[in-house]
Structure 1
Amino acid sequence: IVIGSGPNRISQGVEFDYGAVKSILSLKTLGYEAIMVNSNPETVSTDFDISDKLYFEPVTLEHVSNIVSAEKPEGIIIQFSGQTGQNMASGLSKIFQNIVMGTKPEDIYRIEERTIFSKTLKSLGIKQPDYIEVSNINELEEKIRGISLPVIIRSSFIIGGRAMDIIYSYDILIERVKELFIDRPGSPVLVSRYLKNATEIDVDFISSGKKSVIAGISVHIEEAGTHSGDATMVLGPDRIDKKTLNRIQDIVEKMRVNFNLSGLSNLQIAIKDNEIYVIELNARSSRSIPFVAKATGINWVDYGIKAMLGIAPDIEYSEPKSFFIKVPVFPFKRFRDMDVILGPEMKSTGEAMCCGETFQESMSKVIRIMKRDFKLKSVIITVNDMDKDEAIKIGRKLDKKGVKIYATPGTYSALKGAGIGATVVYRVKDLRSPGISEIIRNEDISMIINTPSESYGSIRDGFSIRNLGIKKDIPLITNIRFASELVDSILSGKGTQIRELGDYQ
């Protein structure tokens, strides 16, 4: 029996649906009767001609248990049901003993229970961001002074990054932790230091009883802290050096041995100052597996299924020869009251893949995903203080190419001080002219680069700017790293070539 992810936020189950369908096909090829359990009608896995039997039932412990009792399967595969299946693992194991295939429920619990996982990493000598574990508000107030802001708060067994936040204020931190204790009574909360300006990496790998094989190493363009479903990821040659690759492989092997991993797994790490920090481990298929499989041309789900059945993978990790970029697609045009600032909670509802023989070629195709008929004429730049140095570099490149630059007062002063030509525009609530709202409405703006500040007023003002840009269908960039890479690729002037996917693999 293969368990699907069930109802999820709009389109957020599509990556797991890919895995569920591929797993069903693999099982049938291996001679098994394959049964699908899922209750989401917007999935391929619930098509009647995919599985041998389809149970269109709620993906809950009660309903799944009834199906298992009726079908008496050799095993249940929960690795393609996202967090939903992980949360059912212990319950299924208590009722049916050794029924869960892949990583066992007791090991899943040790991974998903954040405090146990963090203590295990410490015992293995694997670095992780500084953290404190709190079970009540009194503990938080006692311990919080020992960790510097900003921090990320995490509860256990969460779906799509929900109940996760980056916090910049002690008062807001206490408020959010109180909410988590009310929402998830009895569950401890992990408060860990947010690694500023770190590079986040997703490592997808296959484990059997004897070995682990890395399927793909996807490097985020945005800094650590953006949900992997929302991050722009790059899979390509030379994105990490040989020494870092060896260290990642060593950590993967330690994870396999210590947590008895079997099947597919996903490791999220951050690199800062040449140090590798483990953020989290998922003992299941991740949202990046379809991307990795499509980019490499390898059916990694099939290898994962075979590994669960005791067949060791007869393949080794190899870097792709071309560059592949996973680009998230967001629903902000339809949900106008939703802010586009990215963080640990997932907001995207789809993704696209851009391919190129070089990184710049693949990046140059990204802007066509954002706006098909894009032409670079003028740009609005309004960034927080931490991003002003990078904004100056971007502004200098744009100015050199004759692109008209508009900037809000703080950013304008930084650009002017660096000798970059720009026109000042005033914030939404400022009565002076020209106002930024007026410029967005009346001028032919090609792109808005707006990185939010942590202060409440700045976020609120930025929301108005971002909302206006979305209404006018202007590409909106809220991350300075991504803005820098995108501007470089656009200004390179290299034309894009369209080839068969297989030509890039």
Structure 2
Amino acid sequence: MTASRPVYKMVDTCAAEFEAVTPYYYSAYEDADEVETGERKRVVVLGSGPIRIGQGIEFDYCSVHSVWALRQQGYEAVIINCNPETVSTDFDTADRLYFEPLVAEDVLNILHRERPDGVVVQFGGQTAINLAGAVHEAGFEILGTSVADIDRAEDRERFDKLLGELDIPRPPGGTGYSVDDALTIARRIGFPVLVRPSYVLGGRAMEIVYNEHDLLNYMASAVKVTPEHPVLVDKYLIGKELEVDAVSDGETVVIPGIMEHVERAGVHSGDSIAVLPPQHLDEQVKAQMVEYTVRLARALNVKGLVNIQYVLHNGGLYVLEVNPRSSRTVPYLSKITGVPMVNLATRVILGTKLADLGFKTGLVKETPLIGVKAPVFSFAKLLDVDVALGPEMKSTGEVMGVAEDYASALYKASVAAGYGVPHKGTALVTVADKDKDDAVAIVHSLLKLGFEIYATDGTATMLEQDGIEVKRVRKLGQGSPNIIDLIMGNKIHLIINTLTRGKAPERDGFRIRRAAVEMGVPCFTSLDTANVVLDVMTAIKTGYDKPPVPLQEYVGPEDAGARNSE
């Protein structure tokens, strides 16, 4: 007779040469159980599962630091994670580790065996937070922000109601339960709109659409829209994207720093270059961000970490989304500010008050160092993936550059992320009509660096009107040699290409970008990214250089708690 629930067997890490004692467990439907629990209170931490686009090593960092904090506080710490290539699954990280899938059935089976005093879901990204409801309904206590408050942040209608009560603006939009619903919302708020499935991971299937035809194509090809799988439709506001991570105990809200994205809103936060402290924000906007963050954290009864993303549009600050969990920027923010965010959040969910740890509500005094987080991409290894940046996340990692000035930090991050461009050669520029005015300044930077400019007809006409000498190139349907011929023949050394009508593989733009990947030609699809990288290259060419210095060798800022309490 098969058992209704599995037992847990120890992984033999010693290949039967001698008895294994490593607390690694896997499930099996047998009679004998090999799990040995202690007498201390125990807490289960849910990891983020396999590393993939949208959830990576950043959430493993958060899980590990939470486990360390739990053990420091005298708790028995248990991790559920199914990725053996992470620190959370090292033999000495947790008291016990279960190599099991992060789905409700397997997680609940483990919880029934462990009978923990609480479960932590906020450090494993969206995968872990999505399990909060099932864990709570099964009778286990969720430590930190409650399931009801998590749902208030993630349910569109409840969140909109909360923002109205708090008098905090957000882009207009709505939830579509059918194609007709989505069309009605888009017509009401006006194009362009940002569309996405609800409860997405890494911006999956998220897209900006500019007209009804594109919206209908999106609904037909990208998502399945039903009452159980609604689509969120929001007005796309062009502006500067800003981001905040905070630690809250429901009363005191500590904000280690504000991050400014280099790329304007519309590029997924995981694919954006983020700068801390912000370089182009006035004190009034910072103060408003702090005020909104504190209001939201208190209203949602956040106990632990919260991530909030904003857009600054025409001088107005709007909330894009609130994530009642850790974010991929928490490790970066913790390192540059010196605020041990996960440790503090873990102690908060165990009942400690931030005020008792020397913190008060507000923004921690800014560190004298500047940190730049830059995404890393693996397009050469991902076949048929468009390199164009947009709302759907595509980066596979990130790096951080730290220095005492912005240019040096940006340079270090750019080099580490592999954004280097040749110092001279031929640059191909082909941009959408909406980007043509902004592209002129970039082309002038390329000319100063010594590049020869090639462009397609529309872009070439615009550049010539500005007095720029351009060589015209043929599009794919205009004979040979065309753009692809030039790229494949090593005649192009840098490409600036922004999206026009779409990303389908048959489009010229898609084929240009894929050819660039195959030939190893730097290709920038965001003018904002191109701008900062060219600034770095210009600095290098004029003799500006800084040697890399490990973070540990910097003179560290004073105690973060003291800076926050000033």
**Distance in structure 2 (CA, Å) of the matches to 1:504 and 1:451:** 42
1:12-91 matched pairs, under 5 angstroms: 12-91=55-134
Runs of at least 5 residues in structure 1 that lack an aligned partner in the other structure: none
2:403 alignment partner AA: G
1:171 CA drift (Å): 2.7
2:70 alignment partner AA: L
Contact 1:4 1:36 in 2 (8 A): yes
Question: Which of residues 312, 325, 328 is equivalent to 1:287?
Answer: 328
Question: Which of residues 263, 268, 273 is equivalent to 2:314?
Answer: 273
CA offset digits 1:58-102 (Å, max 9, x no partner): 2122222222222222211101111122221122112215x1011
Match of 2:170 in 1: 128
**Distance in structure 2 (CA, Å) of the matches to 1:181 and 1:329:** 27
Question: Which of residues 504, 508, 511 is equivalent to 1:461?
Answer: 508
Pair 267,456 (structure 1): closer, same or farther in 2 beyond 3 Å: closer
Match of 1:386 in 2: 434
Stretch deviating more after TM superposition (102-111 or 378-387) = 378-387
Question: Which of residues 141, 164, 170 is equivalent to 2:212?
Answer: 170
**Distance in structure 2 (CA, Å) of the matches to 1:85 and 1:218:** 25
CA offset digits 1:288-310 (Å, max 9, x no partner): 11111222233211111112122
SS of structure 1 residue aligned to 2:92: coil
**Distance in structure 2 (CA, Å) of the matches to 1:504 and 1:470:** 40
The answer to whether the aligner puts 1:438 opposite 2:485 as a matched pair is yes
1:54 alignment partner AA: L
Match of 2:269 in 1: 228
1:458 CA drift (Å): 10
SS of structure 2 residue aligned to 1:159: coil
**Distance in structure 1 (CA, Å) of the matches to 2:417 and 2:146:** 42
The answer to whether the aligner puts 1:397 opposite 2:445 as a matched pair is yes
1:373 CA drift (Å): 7.0
Stretch deviating more after TM superposition (101-110 or 114-123) = 114-123
SS of structure 2 residue aligned to 1:419: coil
CA offset digits 1:151-180 (Å, max 9, x no partner): 112333222212422122313323434667
Match of 2:392 in 1: 345
Runs of at least 5 residues in structure 2 that lack an aligned partner in the other structure: 1-43, 557-566
Pair 107,208 (structure 1): closer, same or farther in 2 beyond 3 Å: same
Match of 1:426 in 2: 474
Contact 1:428 1:464 in 2 (8 A): no
1:183 CA drift (Å): 5.8
1:369 CA drift (Å): 3.4
Match of 1:201 in 2: 242
**Distance in structure 2 (CA, Å) of the matches to 1:87 and 1:266:** 16
1:273 alignment partner AA: N
SS of structure 2 residue aligned to 1:100: coil
1:422 alignment partner AA: V
Contact 2:375 2:417 in 1 (8 A): no
Aligned length: 502
Match of 2:252 in 1: 211
**Distance in structure 1 (CA, Å) of the matches to 2:45 and 2:503:** 45
**Distance in structure 1 (CA, Å) of the matches to 2:340 and 2:64:** 12
Matched-pair identity in %? 37
1:2 CA drift (Å): 0.5
**Distance in structure 1 (CA, Å) of the matches to 2:255 and 2:105:** 35
2:350 alignment partner AA: L
Contact 2:259 2:278 in 1 (8 A): no
Pair 150,476 (structure 1): closer, same or farther in 2 beyond 3 Å: same
**Distance in structure 2 (CA, Å) of the matches to 1:147 and 1:79:** 33
Contact 1:12 1:348 in 2 (8 A): no
Pair 146,407 (structure 1): closer, same or farther in 2 beyond 3 Å: same
1:53 CA drift (Å): 0.7
The answer to whether the aligner puts 1:499 opposite 2:499 as a matched pair is no
Stretch deviating more after TM superposition (265-274 or 310-319) = 310-319
SS of structure 1 residue aligned to 2:306: strand
1:186-335 matched pairs, under 5 angstroms: 186-196=228-238, 198-236=239-277, 238-313=279-354, 314-315=358-359, 317-335=364-382
The answer to whether the aligner puts 1:116 opposite 2:158 as a matched pair is yes
1:398 alignment partner AA: L
Pair 190,63 (structure 1): closer, same or farther in 2 beyond 3 Å: same
Pair 142,224 (structure 1): closer, same or farther in 2 beyond 3 Å: closer
Pair 373,175 (structure 1): closer, same or farther in 2 beyond 3 Å: closer
**Distance in structure 2 (CA, Å) of the matches to 1:191 and 1:436:** 36
Runs of 4+ in 1 over 6 A off after TM superposition: 456-459
Contact 2:208 2:391 in 1 (8 A): yes
The answer to whether the aligner puts 1:479 opposite 2:526 as a matched pair is yes
The answer to whether the aligner puts 1:368 opposite 2:415 as a matched pair is yes
1:40 CA drift (Å): 1.6
1:372 CA drift (Å): 7.9
1:416 CA drift (Å): 1.4
Pair 352,184 (structure 1): closer, same or farther in 2 beyond 3 Å: farther
SS of structure 2 residue aligned to 1:34: strand
Pair 500,371 (structure 1): closer, same or farther in 2 beyond 3 Å: closer
- Relative to the length of structure 2, the TM-score reads 0.84
Match of 2:33 in 1: none
SS of structure 2 residue aligned to 1:352: strand
1:139 alignment partner AA: D
2:470 alignment partner AA: A
Stretch deviating more after TM superposition (380-389 or 105-114) = 380-389
Question: Which of residues 508, 530, 536 is equivalent to 1:489?
Answer: 536
Task: State which structure, 1 or 2, has the greater radius of gyration over its C-alpha atoms.
Answer: 2
**Distance in structure 2 (CA, Å) of the matches to 1:317 and 1:353:** 20
How well do the aligned residues superpose, as a CA RMSD in angstroms?
A: 2.3
Match of 2:198 in 1: 156
1:261 alignment partner AA: V
Pair 302,184 (structure 1): closer, same or farther in 2 beyond 3 Å: farther
2:76 alignment partner AA: E
Question: Which of residues 33, 46, 63 is equivalent to 1:3?
Answer: 46
1:339 CA drift (Å): 0.5
1:270 CA drift (Å): 0.5
Contact 1:357 1:504 in 2 (8 A): no
Contact 2:412 2:548 in 1 (8 A): no
**Distance in structure 1 (CA, Å) of the matches to 2:157 and 2:67:** 35
- Relative to the length of structure 1, the TM-score reads 0.93
Pair 370,450 (structure 1): closer, same or farther in 2 beyond 3 Å: farther
Question: Which of residues 107, 128, 144 is equivalent to 2:186?
Answer: 144
